């Protein structure tokens, strides 16, 4: 058996590789979305007062806005990426 590292078989779903910008963006988006859902759960499940609710919502908006640029960049990567056509060799 070889002990070579095979990146396809990574240990976690949010592993990323330095040369893969799309994967890097996906990990960033995944973490930001997790923050948004956690903040929203705090707002809903904890009986917070009005001020705390407003502050949590403010941070949700900030996290949401932080998603926009990575989403635009990921969209451009997807649009510019080569297509795989069935029956032809990979680009």
36 occurs within a structural domain: yes
Measure the CA dihedral 75/79/80/82, to 10°: 130
d(Cα 35, Cα 11) in Å, to the nearest integer?
Answer: 22
Reading the chain (91 residues) residue by residue, the pLDDT tens digits are 455 555 555 556 666 556 788 888 888 899 999 999 999 999 888 777 888 889 999 999 999 999 999 999 999 998 888 877 788 876 6
d(Cα 52, Cα 54) in Å, to the nearest integer?
Answer: 5
35 occurs within a structural domain: yes
85 occurs within a structural domain: no
43 occurs within a structural domain: yes
74 occurs within a structural domain: yes
Which residues span the domain enclosing 22?
16-80
Q: State how many domains the chain has.
A: 1
| Contacts of residue 32, Cβ cutoff 8 Å, sequence gap at least 6 | 63, 66, 67, 70
87 occurs within a structural domain: no
90 occurs within a structural domain: no
Place of tokens 């032809």: 88
């Amino acid at each position: 058996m070889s002990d070579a590292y095979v990146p396809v078989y990574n240990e976690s779903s949010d592993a990323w590789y330095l040369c893969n910008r799309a994967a890097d963006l996906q990990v960033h988006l995944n973490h930001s979305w997790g923050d948004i859902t956690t903040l929203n759960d705090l707002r809903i499940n904890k009986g917070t007062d009005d001020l705390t609710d407003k502050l949590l919502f403010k941070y949700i908006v900030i996290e949401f806005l932080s998603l926009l640029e990575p989403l635009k960049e990921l969209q451009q990567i997807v649009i510019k990426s080569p297509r795989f056509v069935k029956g032809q060799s990979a680009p």
